[in-house]
Structure 1
Amino acid sequence: MNTNKPIKKKAPFLNREISWLYFNERVLQEVADETVPLIERIKFLSIFSSNMEEFYRVRVATLTRLANLNDKAKELLGFNPKKILNEIKNIVVKQERKFEQLFKATLINELAQNRIFILNESQLNVARGQFVREHFRDKILSNLVPIMINPDKPFPELKDRRLYFFVRLSRKSSSKSEKYALIELPANLPRFLVLPETNGLKFIILAEDIIKYCLDDIFYVFNYDVIDAYSIQLTRDAELDIDKNVSDKFIEELRASLDKRKKGKPMRLLYDTEMPFEMLSYLISKLKIEAESLIPGNRYHRFGDFIAFPNVGSKELEYAPTIPLKVAGLHRTESIFNKLQERDYLVNLPYQSYDYIILFLREAAIDPKVTEINITLYRLAENSKVVNALINAAKNGKVVNCLVELKARFDEQANIFWSKKMEEEGVQVNYGLTNYKVHSKICLVKRMEKGRAKYYANLATGNFNERTAKLYCDHSIFTAKKEITDDLQKLFKALNKKTVVGGFKHLIVSPLDSRSKFYSLIDREIKIAKSGKPAYMILKVNSLADEGIVQKLYDASNAGVKVKLIVRGICTLVPGVRDYSTNITVISIIDKFLEHARVFIYGNGGKEEMYLSSADLMSRNFEHRVEVGFPVLDKEVRQEIRDIIEFQLQDNVKARDVTRMNNNKYHKNNMKSKIRAQVQTYNYLKNKHQ
């Protein structure tokens, strides 16, 4: 093969939105996988649905704006937004059909096989009907206020992602005196009601079916004998429109923008396909919604709520709880700072306990030798132990500099709350930078030892969030190595002044250094390959969508560099294409936990180097965010991560091949036994650290 053959035709790039839909298809595959416990499969339906909502609120909303650009602007984009929107609609309709089929034909039947039944309003016997009506009158009725539709007045504003019933009131004797109404289901209304058990049979009814059963209790003041109700859900444009000047008014502007988010342009109307055509036509005309925004669905929407579907059956219907493992060498009653004098320590989440990060912050908060804590926070847990530790540190007289990224999408409200709370308690809160999101996950502690400052750090691929740490696979490293802490001092000094700087010796920091550093690391492998020596890269990310990086990886493949990619979500690179990517393979792992770590491994001519990062390989991570990548310098830590990555490359149970066909086939290899990376990783860490 001539590896120096010039490339003449345009390099292959898959559209990122289409690639994302293929990722969400992999989530739907978990629903179809009979080896996944039944309740977990229902939860994957929920995840698929929540993913799709966000996709429409953000990505489809953006494409819809771009569709209004002129032809010259479309040339600069490299694709026609209207064409992509049509392709999205076709794929989504197929996925929604598959979604409905899996729910109705598969999961409902399997629930029945386990003596669990989801009943609707037409399936209630007298006793259960009485139970439901009493529950409705006691718990639900007072929360419902129907809005009667007046044809001479504007149609009521539908809230983003809320569930509604579109109701038609009529008489059997005449169709001319119809009335329409809307019923909004309160957001805090429990979605599921477990009914009394009968002969070992378990019954569950959804809130909307309870309401449909009791419609006559709502509209009793009207003299109608036919009441039809069909569920609908509107998804709106969720992009914020914020003045980028970070000032004293920034938080108020953000609050106002969050309020606007609720009233964004309609992006998608999910409707019950049982709704009569004349009702749907009336609704469309009143909402002034485009045809491409109509998505036929089933009787149940807002499937995100099914993440809390009650397991009224056996424990075997869910994954067994994963007991967090210990980290050998770290103990709750021994100083972490003293341990870090000797070596670095790695916490592999969620397999190992997040308590080590809390203990690190807690020790910093109470240690009289600690004088200062610097930390960046992106997404915070509801009852954040991280924030509590920082507040206690401030109360104990430490200088606590906390940068909270208020622009973390869909977590803005929580971040505002915690920022105000910390400020009230004496923490010095920095609300981020003007033009960049601060997405790094870093913490630096200053400790005075024998009259000199000594620094200790925690750097991670995931957020300082103990809730998501139970679900997301991330790596978190404790270190006291000067190579890292010296660079972190420089970085925090800049961030605390609301600026960004470059020129770090060991850290890879966006937006100034990351692209050039990544390019140089790839170029080094290309140079090694061209010299006739083995060259390789193993890169693990959530998303790969930056055209510059994709082109660099194509160059590396053409030079003979073996490139193995583990990409959970978007991947615009197309592997296996002659003259571009014959030396590139891509797998995606969807399993019990969300693969979230970013790991970059370079062969370096036999002196393998490894970096972890908060950044994916997307343009925003290089140019519009403050991200931190960092070398893994401890040999033992590096080997442990390398072993975990090897399990993932060997996975032949939950890994899918990402190919030019985009058919999400499960990855096969020459391994004689089944390798499921997440199970293998847990057992490996259990044996190593017990």
Structure 2
Amino acid sequence: MTKKKVPFLNREISWLYFNERVLQEAADESVPLIERIKFLSIFSSNLDEFYRVRVATINRLANLNEKSKALLGFNPKKVLNEIKNIVVRQERRFEQLFQATLINELAQNRIFILNDTQLNVSRGEFVRNHFRDRILSNLVPILIDLDKPFPELKDRFLYFFVRLFKKGSKNKRYALIELPQDLPRFLILPETNGLKFIILAEDIIKYCMNDIFYIFDYDELDAFSIQVTRDAELDIDKNISDKFIEELKTSLDKRRKGKPMRLLYDTEMPFDMLSVLVAKIKIEAESLIPGNRYHRFGDFIRFPNVGSPTLEYPPTPPLKVLGLHRTESIIDKIATKDYLINLPYQSYDYIILFLREAAIDPKVTEINITLYRLAENSRVINALINAAKNGKLVKVVVELKARFDENANIYWSNRLEEEGVQVNYGLTDYKVHSKICLVKRMERGRAVYYANLATGNFNEKTAKLYCDHSIFTAKREITRDLVKLFSALNNHTVAKGFKHLIVSPLESRNKFYRLIDREIRSAKAGKAAYLLLKVNSLADEGVVNKLYQASNAGVKVKLIVRGICCLIPGIKGFSENITVISIIDKFLEHARVYIFGNQGKEEMYLSSADLMSRNFEHRVEVGFPVLDDDVRQEIRDIIDFQLQDNVKARDITKLNNNRYHKNRLGTKVRAQVNTYNYLKNKHQQD
């Protein structure tokens, strides 16, 4: 009897289905118009990173021999081909949405995006003056000699590929123009009769192209935008040493010169120009992606709203937390009970106030914290520096290998060290991805600890957009384990033997499996058994197999997975008891919540970890139990809103068609709106 193949969706393909859900938001007519443009921007930025990292990795794997490919479980070249087919289809949908739908809807709101062919005399003069005053001196065209190597195109920079010729002549010259990254992308033109006009930098340059090449005797200039996305994976020695930061800086410099993974080009570009470009860049066929007129669409996240405020989501001012006050000691409050901050619905200021209080409290002697991604003007950093200046022992684990945040983290590390903070650059073989802080306070001659543990980063900027849970606690079950964990991290080691925390890389997998196995035993004994897991990504084969095992035993499994989901629900003999939904809405669902039925004594854990192999084996992650009954119920209520969502939730099925989730509820349930209103009512201050 042959063993049935375990259903497992390729993670790259699953990710593309996730990004299609982002594209759905841009198509959703109930979403305000400017927000729909921003969702196109998010889709584009996501795709850039996907090519820089994931496609780059698959491309490297494509060179493996057949035996190695068999061990992978998939054919890299076949996956690359499937990726291109899906991306080309999505790019067509993207272009249709932008050009045929959103631009028309902007026009209905008396807002017009003009290109270089649509300027009248007065607006043309305004644009030309702006070009000569603000742009021209920043442009350096490069004339191309086809007999010499082509200039190196930088990763994600915008370029014009230009063809110059004289009518009646067969002689053609080519040029390249690089657009500076700090060049403002949008110019608001003077309003006329209540009509608003916006033009992009590319169209300004195209309109004024003759001003760039005026010294040449050419009467025909054709210019088309292009963008190259390169392999951005770091290639560094894993040895953490005094030279590590220098090695990292060198690798970051090399990142711009990685192998081209994708060439986005304007589909209006003539074939002979495209042929010259492809031959000179030496890019492979599957990496050639026909795009639209405007590339690096990620910049559209800053698209100016020159119309009504109703074209954007109404503001949701951060709410207060009942019992916590700006003029009362947070530490004193935490000593009596746990407090939960639900971001971004509630204010991130409570975390800053906790750190600031620790920085000036005479009884506080030590602060330990892990930092992964930080805000540009970090108040977290300022609080830690103030603590060091006030004589506290401040120990910070900074993860220098946080992808695309390496330069920022190097900068902050230097700032901290200059101010007397002890900076630990993490571990040789593992990223420190946990989000934990521990404050030591001397009370009546003994050490008492206060902690903050979260599902998201100590980053006040992303805390305005990401849905996360952050818990304050002084419970000794938690703080004792944290003392042990920070002791190990500060000694550049990993630890095990934690009683209450679930810590990667040494213990998470086994502890997680044991919690699932407990539900399996309950189901086999005829008792009610269930799992409810909320994560960003589910891609670990071991976990997928364990969940299939639970389903087959009769455990009811409900999953909320925003992004990658390699598990395929609804497959007979594997996943008949598993349902999966994904929620894409105004805020980014980022929290990781693990709930286990436990025979009626429900247990809940929050975590910094997704269900991916890297989180189990290559990162220091922390899962922590929610021990306070009130806090646990509040999180459960929020999870229930998400399970009931019939507005922004999509069903993840074997069809991968991202159908919106429907249920029997008579009223519309939009989880993020319900959550905000629920917290607003529950936490009304006295």
TM (normalized to structure 1)? 0.99
Shift of 1:641: 0.1
Please name the residue that 2:545 is paired with: 551
Alignment of structure 1 residues 652-663 onto 2, 5 Å:
652-663=646-657
One-letter amino acid of the counterpart of residue 129, structure 2? E
Counterpart position of 2:135: 140
Of 517, 521, 525 in structure 2, the residue corresponding to residue 527 of structure 1 is: 521
Structure 1 equivalent of residue 394 of structure 2: 400
How far off its partner does 1:10 sit? 1.2
Aligned-partner SS, 1:255: helix
Deviation string 1:284-324 (CA, Å, 9 cap, x unpaired) is 00001111100001110000000000000000000011100
Q: Does 1:103 align with 2:118?
A: no
For 1:479, the equivalent position in structure 2 comes to: 473
Distance 1:493 1:323 in 2: 39
Aligned residue for 2:171, secondary structure, equals strand
Counterpart contact for 1:613–1:630, Cα < 8 Å: yes
For 1:289 and 1:336, locate their aligned partners in 2 and report how far apart those are by CA, in whole Å.
57
Q: State the secondary structure of the residue aligned to 1:532.
A: coil
SS at match of 1:319: coil
> Any residues of structure 2 matched to 1:271-282 within 5 Å, and which?
271-282=265-276
TM-superposed deviation, 1:542: 0.1
**Residue 36 (structure 2) pairs with residue 59 (structure 1):** no
What is the CA–CA distance in structure 2 between the aligned matches of 1:689 and 1:603, rounded to whole Å?
A: 28
Deviations 1:529-575, CA, capped at 9 Å, x for gaps: 00000100100000000000000000000000000000000000000
Equivalent in the alignment of 1:225: 219
Which residue in 2 is equivalent to 1:3?
none
- Deviation of 1:152 (Å): 2.1
Answering whether residue 662 of structure 2 is matched by residue 681 of structure 1, we say: no
Please give the residue correspondences for 1:570-649 in structure 2 after superposition, counting only pairs within 5 Å: 570-649=564-643
Indicate the SS of the match to 2:21: helix
Q: Percent identity?
A: 82
Question: CA–CA distance in 2 between the matches of 1:423 and 1:547?
Answer: 41
Aligned to 1:188: 182
Q: Secondary structure at the match of 1:565?
A: strand
| CA drift at 1:337 | 1.1
**Letter aligned with residue 25 of structure 1:** E
Query: Structure 1 residue 114 and structure 2 residue 128: aligned?
Result: no
Q: What is the CA deviation profile of residues 403-443 of structure 1, one whole-angstrom value per residue up to 9, with x for unaligned ones?
A: 00000000000000000000000000001100000000000
Structure 1 counterpart of 2:375, from 371, 381, 393? 381
1:20 aligns with: 15
| Per-residue deviation, 1:7 | 9.4
**Residues of 1 paired with 2:465 and 2:146: CA distance?**
49
Relative to structure 2, which stretch is displaced further, 554-563 or 334-343? 334-343
The answer as to whether partners of 1:600 and 1:611 remain within 8 angstroms in 2 is yes
Separation in structure 2 between the aligned mates of residue 171 and residue 204 of structure 1, nearest angstrom: 32
| Alpha-carbon separation, structure 1, partners of 2:289 and 2:206 | 22
CA distance in 2, matches of 1:450, 1:340: 17
Paired position in structure 2 for 1:567:
561
| Counterpart in the other structure of 2:319 | 325
Structure 1 residues 630-658: Cα deviation after superposition (integer angstroms, max 9, x where no partner): 00000000000000000000000000000
Q: Structure 2: how far apart are the matches of 1:145 and 1:222? A: 15
Letter in 2 for 1:443: C
CA distance in 2, matches of 1:177, 1:76: 53
Cα pair 1:121 1:209 within 8 Å, conserved: yes
Separation in structure 2 between the aligned mates of residue 549 and residue 173 of structure 1, nearest angstrom: 67
Cα offset, 1:237, TM superposition:
0.2
Q: Distance in 2 between matches of 1:135 and 1:316?
A: 30
1:476-505: per-residue Cα shift (whole Å, max 9, x none)? 000000000000000000000000011100
Q: Which amino acid aligns with 2:556?
A: K
> CA contact under 8 A between 1:7 and 1:579: conserved in structure 2?
no
Any conservation in 2 of the 1:575–1:586 contact (CA below 8 Å)?
yes
Q: Which residue of structure 1 lines up, in the alignment, with residue 88 of structure 2?
A: 93
Q: Give the alignment partner of residue 423 of structure 1, picking from 389, 396, 417.
A: 417
Q: Secondary structure at the match of 1:578?
A: coil
In the TM superposition, what are the counterparts of 1:206-217 in structure 2 within 5 Å? 206-217=200-211
Name stretches of at least 5 consecutive residues in structure 2 with no aligned partner.
none
Please give the TM-score of this superposition, normalised by the length of structure 2: 0.99
Using the alignment, how far apart are the partners of 1:25 and 1:380 within structure 2?
A: 28
Q: Report deviation, 1:340.
A: 1.2
What is the DSSP-based 3-state SS (H/G/I as helix, E as strand, rest coil) of the residue aligned with 1:268? strand
Confirm whether residue 263 of structure 1 aligns to residue 283 of structure 2.
Answer: no
1:368 aligns with 2:350: no
- Correspondence list, 1:240-259, <5 A: 240-259=234-253
- Say if 2:4 is the partner of 1:9: yes
- Once residues 236 and 358 of structure 2 are traced to their aligned partners in structure 1, the CA distance between those partners, rounded to angstroms, is 36
In the alignment, structure 1 residue 391 sits paired with structure 2 residue 414: no
SS of equivalent residue, structure 1 residue 123: coil
Q: Which amino acid aligns with 1:118?
A: I
Deviations 1:128-171 (A, max 9, x none): 00000000000000000100001221110000000000000011
> Does residue 346 of the first structure (1) align with residue 340 of the second (2)?
yes
- SS of equivalent residue, structure 1 residue 152: coil
**Post-superposition CA distance 1:237-278 (Å, at most 9, x none):** 000001000000000000000000000000000000000000
Equivalent position of 1:433 in the other structure? 427
Question: For residue 465 of structure 1, what is the aligned residue in structure 2?
Answer: 459
* Among 160, 163, 167, the residue aligned to 2:162: 167
Aligned equivalents of 1:476, 1:7: Cα separation in 2: 48
Residue segments in structure 1 that go unaligned for 5+ positions in a row: 1-5
- Give, in angstroms, the shift of residue 348 of structure 1: 0.0
Equivalent-residue separation in structure 2 for 1:190 and 1:608 (angstroms)? 53
Answer whether contact 1:589 1:655 (CA < 8 A) is retained: yes
* Cα deviation, residue 341, structure 1: 1.6
Deviations 1:62-120 (A, max 9, x none): 00000000000011000100000000000000000000000000000000000000000
How many Å separate the matches in 1 of 2:396 and 2:335?
A: 25
SS of aligned partner of 2:117: helix
Q: How does 1:71-86 map to 2 (within 5 A)?
A: 71-86=66-81
1:296 and 2:306 are equivalent in the alignment: no
* Equivalent position amino acid for 1:547 in 2: E
Q: Distance in 2 between matches of 1:236 and 1:323?
A: 39
Q: Distance in 2 between matches of 1:10 and 1:355?
A: 50
Aligned letter for 1:18?
Answer: I
> Secondary structure in 2 aligned to 1:122?
coil
Match of residue 502, structure 1, among 477, 496, 504: 496
Shift of 1:338: 0.8
Contact 1:378–1:404 at 8 Å: present in 2 too?
yes
Partner of 1:334: 328
Alpha-carbon distance between aligned partners in 1 of 2:318 and 2:331, rounded to the nearest angstrom: 22
CA distance in 1: counterparts of 2:553 and 2:335, whole angstroms: 43
Distance in 2 (CA, whole Å) between partners of 1:273 and 1:187 is 23
**Matching of residue 286 in structure 1 with residue 285 in structure 2:** no
User: Which amino acid in structure 2 is aligned with residue 441 of structure 1?
Assistant: K
Moved beyond 2 Å, runs of 4+: none
* Inter-partner Cα distance in structure 1 for 2:655 and 2:274: 37
Report the Cα offset of residue 342 of structure 1: 1.2
One-letter amino acid matched to 1:152: D
CA shift digits 1:29-76 (9 cap, x unpaired): 000000000000000000000000000000000000000000000110
Could you tell me how far apart the structure 1 residues matched to 2:321 and 2:197 are? 43
Task: Indicate yes or no: 2:17 matched with 1:29.
Answer: no
